[in-house]
Amino acid sequence: MKTLTEQKQKISPNGNPVKTNGKSTGALKKQQWNYSKSIEDQKHIKLKSEYDLFIGGKWVKTKKYFETINPSNEEVIAKVAYASESDVDKAVKTAERAYDKVWSKISAKDRGKYIFRIARILQEKAREFAVIESMDGGKAIKESKTVDIPLAIAHFFYYAGWADKLDLAFAGRKVSSIGVAGQIIPWNFPLLMAAWKIAPALACGNTVVIKSAETTPLTLYKLAEVIQEAELPEGVVNIISGDGMTGAAIVNHPKTKKIAFTGSTEVGKIIMRQIAGTDKKITLELGGKAANIIFEDAPLDAAIEGIINGIYFNQGHVCCAGSRLLVQESVKDIVIKKLKHRLQSLKVGDPLDKNTDVGAINSKMQLNKIKELVQIGIDEGATFYQSQCELPSRGYWFRPTFFSDVAQSHRIANEEIFGPVLSILTFRTPAEAVEKANNTFYGLSAGVWTDKGSKIFKTLSKIRAGVVWSNTYNKFNPASPFGGYKESGFGREGGRHGLAAYLK
Ligand code: ADP
């Protein structure tokens, strides 16, 4: 069995067409356009060299600090506090005091006013947030500028509007806040995930302790500065950083009344076990292995863009990524041919370059996980194809990749790779497409591409996934609920449903 390392030249920066298990990948000749660099200006960025915990509206020192690096060049950007169990206790008790004394007492209209303020200040600083998000997480600046930050702002605006209309949201029922919400977020959309969680919690009258993920703490601490500027009463939002131990301390703290978690299914299961027998409310948004279904009557060029956006957006670090492409057998060859061409035009590189389509992999650990699963795909006999773009010499990178001839039994058809790697399967009839789409432990999202409206409705109504797109992919809106079935979790974030998670 060949290992990925042995095959280094095959999938290394300057690799030529590869042979895997006797099958040629048929890699196309390099045909990339050369663009001059267009690097986003960083002079306006204000970052401290060290971030303390943000508790009770103040910066609070702790014993341990850890470094956060830029995954595109492995340079340290800043040090951030590592919150211990006693720090978590301090943050939760502060949030509880702020709930009892201030936030549960002020009018709903005033709650809305503060959230609007946060939204407006964020809007003014949108560019700075976008650059920091790309530096800390590795994502392409064009995505943080047009997706992450505007959507985060939109969530604050959206839920600000609901704050004094909760009775209308749940007509005929009396609703009230819960208390302290403990929120744990992943590294793929840091500010956006924070907005998804903080905005509805505040609108519903709860206070918050939120923890950023290990590799992407910076935009949350910048949000802390915005919260100070908005003069949100002290202790209503407390922001901390740390690892799984810190997250577990939030989950286990007796005073957190609601847990909102976005992350891996594995950790979601641990959290479920931990809160069993308590009266905590919980929402879990976990992994996915979405089917993106292309029927033979689909507008194919548009569908190719949907496939690209579905799996290579944010380096594939997207829980609702269209990571399983189900293509009707009659158009398989043409779809693969078009996809190969399109893959070669994707620009991989410096996240701060405005021309970059695919940025850096978020961490070395994630890069290793992607490499391991790709190696498994090769060993299992799927046909491997990869873009031939050049990669920077430093940092964590993985070229856009897809596997064709994937079988349902392959691990790459079942496990979440969370990287720029697509698995292509085929089907003959709509019934087979639905059967295969649902043949997964997950159920977060799905996409359908066809010319026929009736086929869209017929197919999507049979798919067990929380979010479905037709003739588009990875589109988000704060008014639209997001969440999963099966091992993708439960509970919804966004929309009116997102309020229910923070009310009793
Ligand atoms: P990923 O694989 O995307 O890194 P994880 O589920 O490991 O996803 O991490 C998502 C978030 O959950 C991170 O903020 C991480 O620190 C936190 N976390 C990890 N382990 C635990 C745990 N046992 N309890 C609570 N939070 C945890």
pLDDT per position as a tens digit, 83-102: 999 999 999 999 999 999 99
Mean pLDDT of 19-43: 66
Burial 249-258 (b: 16+ CB within 10 A, else e): bbbbbeebbb
Phi and psi of 166, rounded to 5°?
-65, -35
- Between CA 20 and CA 30, with CA 26 as vertex, the angle to 5 degrees is 120
Where does the pLDDT of residue 40 fall: very low under 50, low under 70, confident under 90, or very high at 90 and above? very high
Tell me, what's the pLDDT at 67?
98
Delimit the domains of the chain by residue range: 4-30+288-470, 50-286+488-500
pLDDT surpasses 90 at 396: yes
The answer to whether domain 4-30+288-470 and domain 50-286+488-500 are alike in fold is: no
Tell me what percent of the residues of the chain surpass a pLDDT of 70.
93
pLDDT surpasses 80 at 21: no
pLDDT surpasses 90 at 35: no
> Distances in Å between the alpha carbon of 335 and those of 210, 211, 298?
43, 42, 11
What pairing do the DSSP bridges indicate for beta strands 401-404 and 383-386?
antiparallel
Mean pLDDT of 221-226: 98
Q: Are 306 and 462 in contact, with CB atoms under 8 Å apart?
A: no
Please give the Cα distance from 486 to 343 (Å, whole number). 32
State which fold the 4-30+288-470 domain adopts.
Aldehyde Dehydrogenase; Chain A, domain 2 (3.40.309)
Q: Are 206 and 258 in contact, with CB atoms under 8 Å apart?
A: yes
pLDDT surpasses 60 at 24: no
Where does the pLDDT of residue 28 fall: very low under 50, low under 70, confident under 90, or very high at 90 and above? low
Please give the Cα distance from 72 to 392 (Å, whole number). 8
- Architecture of the 50-286+488-500 domain: 3-Layer(aba) Sandwich (3.40)
Please give the Cα distance from 203 to 206 (Å, whole number). 8
Q: Which residues surround ligand 1 with Cβ inside 6 Å?
A: 184-186, 211, 213-214, 243-244, 247-248, 251, 263-264, 267, 270-271
Q: What is the pTM of this model?
A: 0.94
Please give the Cα distance from 371 to 313 (Å, whole number). 18
Please give the Cα distance from 182 to 197 (Å, whole number). 10
Read off the tokens for 83. Answer: 């919150």
Q: Are 233 and 102 in contact, with CB atoms under 8 Å apart?
A: yes
- Ligand 1 centroid – CA 178 distance (Å): 24
* Residue 285 bears catalytic tag: yes
pLDDT surpasses 80 at 1: no
Residue nearest to atom 7 of ligand 1 (CA): 264
pLDDT surpasses 60 at 6: no
User: Which pLDDT tens digit goes with each residue over 328-360?
Assistant: 999 999 999 999 999 999 999 999 999 999 999
User: Catalytic one among 285, 415, 416, 487?
Assistant: 285
